[in-house]
Structure 1
Amino acid sequence: MHSDDRSDGTATRSRRDLLAAAGGLTAGLVGTAGCLGSTDRVRVLAAGSLAVALEEGIGPAFESATDHGYEGEYHGTNAVLRFVEDGTKQPDVVIGADVALLQERLYPDDTEWDAAFAANEVVIAYTPETELGQRLAAGEPWYEVVADAADGELAISDPDLDPLGYRALLLFELVEREHGLEGFRDAMADRVYREPDEPQLLAGLENGNRACAVAYSNMAAERDVAVRELADEYNFGNPEYADRYAQASYTTADGHTVEGSPVVYTATVRAGADRPDAGRAFVSFLLENGDLLADHGFRVDESLPRFHGEPPEAIVP
């Protein structure tokens, strides 16, 4: 049997006090939907968990270092890719949180290459003042704690819009299989609150509507909330466990079946982009400034960046 946690459950990760106004910022970011239209800026359509890092770190630094402006819009990766596929939005740069999903849906019509640049992992974020939070902090097995959650007390992002959402369901499936918890995934799927706006996932903890949430590590760090870290067997953060993650799968509402995989972010310049030069400059800047991503809780190690397909010469560091 595998260990289910890397710590005693009492750790709170606090990387920065970024956003006393975090909720207001991310709400504003998603509120830019439909605004990808200016011609003097690189237009980036990205996974919602990158919103703060791009708006507070990479975007301003890119503007300072180049002649280009920055304009970002953020949604769950599934939604990002759908917007590109159906032509609803026409960004210069597309960034997703699931490499295989981006390649499946955008190749070859919308791109023929992508560059993986950062990694993340899944955690259980919680409010210490709640009963569930107290039990998580005390080190009880996390799956026993969340099994006692009332309807809506545990939040996940929408699995049909966002890889974080389906990774939550895959997490439940993996632990069900490991511990013989028959029906655990389905029971949890029926009980959770599904947040359709990924950057707002943790707002429910802050306003007292939720006790805990399945989140990415960086999201919890940016909002300075308590977390229960998960063992590598479950956190989708260790490439050595890729085969184990892939034992669980989910089929989205629009018919795409995805297998569990390590959380890796990948970027590409859209074929037919209005400003391809600016797009290439932005992706290059992203690859060369991993320290800015690390400041926001992402992991950038020696295995990154990784390329698929044939990126333009200007992209390769």
Structure 2
Amino acid sequence: MLFMTQRITRRSFIKTAAATGIAATIGFSGCLSGNGKSIVKISHAGSLAYPFNNIKEAYEEQNQDIEIQREAHGSVDAVRQVTELDKKIDIVGVADYTLIPNMMLNEYTDWYARFARNKYTIAYTDESSYSDEINSENWYEILGRDDVRFGFSNPNADPAGYRSQMVIQLAENYYGNNEIYENLIGQNSNFEMTEQDDEYILEMPPTSDIEVDTDKIMLRSKEVDLLSGLEGGEIDYLFIYGSVATQHEHNMIELPTEIDLSSVDYADTYGKVGVKIAGGSTVYGKPIVYGITMPNNSQNPELAADVVKFILSDKGDQIMSDAGQPPINPAVVNDMEAVPEEISDLVTEA
């Protein structure tokens, strides 16, 4: 095994590659599709599937020799494609930007950008039980009824999953009812939310040990996997991002800002709830902010940088906005010195 004594950053590699032609050699070695197009591989959050598909179509229309290949996962699993499965991924996009510094920074990437926002909601259809009765004040009572079934994604695999638990716990303080979490989750699963020093912490069991009452709760690896259950009438309500509900034209409950994880004004309130991911760290509530990065094992760093540039461009911003995920403009990065030069004019450092 060879060990390098000098750490090469993404930016310095791209600079060198541009000058020497290394990028072309690496990029076209094993990175061509069957039709001879250069490939850019993206591993991303399920809630980015809709806007990233539109970005793929718009980018490929302008660059017909490039093919973008997307894989949708829960965000934790999207990162694990690189960190545990060692897949050669060019771009990673997640629904919780803190997953990048917590799981990737330094060893797997040198930089990340915060580039879009969202809010949390509960989606339903006209056929959902009590759809003509539910509102932002009584939703937890409706979901607690014996003949109502709801769904959320796995908190170990997907930020939408652990955010569902945060929203339900935050609801107790907002509505002045300290039995909401127990009524909806505790008595229907082996999840236990405990109070610790003025904070509420859910310590997740390993995924293989998760138990839920399937007559009450539908659990899947990522939130978009639950949409078919909602649309097919298997569940009545789905904890999900507002953007996904909008994209699929579902009804949604406008949760109070104090609990929907959308506003920096309530960051301290959100932060009173945390979820300890099995085998990982504790994630605390915070406003929903998406993150994007380029792993160090990208086989096409120049092309990947160009795709990220498109995502952060005015056109990309419009696509994100149309999808219900307001862009952060300019995107905010952790280290200006580490980002590719191609995107340096589109970002600012926090």
1:154 equivalent in structure 2? 150
Deviation of the 1:156 alpha carbon? 0.7
How far apart in 2 are the matches of 1:175 and 1:107? 33
2:42 equivalent in structure 1? 44
Counterparts in 2 of 1:32-111, with a 5 A limit?
38-39=31-32, 40-55=38-53, 57-66=54-63, 67-111=65-109
How far apart in 2 are the matches of 1:92 and 1:175? 39
2:133 equivalent in structure 1? 135
1:80-130 Cα distance to aligned partner (Å, 9 max, x none): 112211134221001111111221000111111111111111111012223
How far apart in 2 are the matches of 1:41 and 1:86? 22
Counterparts in 2 of 1:256-271, with a 5 A limit?
256-271=281-296
Deviation of the 1:175 alpha carbon? 1.1
- Note if contact 2:43-2:79 (Cα within 8 Å) is conserved in structure 1: no
List runs of 5+ in structure 2 lacking aligned partners: 1-29, 33-37, 190-215
Aligned amino acid, residue 258 of structure 1: V
1:245-270 Cα distance to aligned partner (Å, 9 max, x none): 11110011223210011111111111
Aligned amino acid, residue 62 of structure 2: A
How far apart in 2 are the matches of 1:106 and 1:92? 14
How far apart in 2 are the matches of 1:282 and 1:296? 18
- Note if contact 2:49-2:72 (Cα within 8 Å) is conserved in structure 1: yes
Deviation of the 1:230 alpha carbon? 1.0
- Note if contact 2:114-2:328 (Cα within 8 Å) is conserved in structure 1: no
How far apart in 1 are the matches of 2:285 and 2:155? 12
Provide TM-score, normalisation by structure 2. Answer: 0.75
1:305 equivalent in structure 2? 331
1:178 equivalent in structure 2? 174
Q: RCO higher in 1 or 2 (8 Å CA, sep ≥ 6)?
A: 1
Rg larger for: 2
How far apart in 2 are the matches of 1:132 and 1:305? 41
2:306 equivalent in structure 1? 281
Describe the SS at the equivalent of 1:255. coil
- Note if contact 1:132-1:212 (Cα within 8 Å) is conserved in structure 2: no
How far apart in 1 are the matches of 2:160 and 2:140? 18
Deviation of the 1:204 alpha carbon? 1.2
Identity %: 29
2:7 equivalent in structure 1? none
- Note if contact 2:161-2:222 (Cα within 8 Å) is conserved in structure 1: no
How far apart in 2 are the matches of 1:271 and 1:199? 28
- Return the match for 2:260 from 223, 232, 235: 235
1:163 equivalent in structure 2? 159
RMSD: 1.9
How far apart in 2 are the matches of 1:301 and 1:113? 17
How far apart in 2 are the matches of 1:239 and 1:193? 31
- Return the match for 2:318 from 281, 291, 303: 291
- Note if contact 2:41-2:68 (Cα within 8 Å) is conserved in structure 1: yes
Aligned amino acid, residue 128 of structure 2: T
- Note if contact 1:126-1:227 (Cα within 8 Å) is conserved in structure 2: yes
How far apart in 2 are the matches of 1:59 and 1:80? 18
List runs of 5+ in structure 1 lacking aligned partners: 1-36
How far apart in 1 are the matches of 2:146 and 2:69? 39
Deviation of the 1:68 alpha carbon? 2.4
1:314 equivalent in structure 2? 342
Deviation of the 1:63 alpha carbon? 1.2
Deviation of the 1:53 alpha carbon? 1.5
1:116-168 Cα distance to aligned partner (Å, 9 max, x none): 1111111110122233322215x6522222222557x1111111110001000
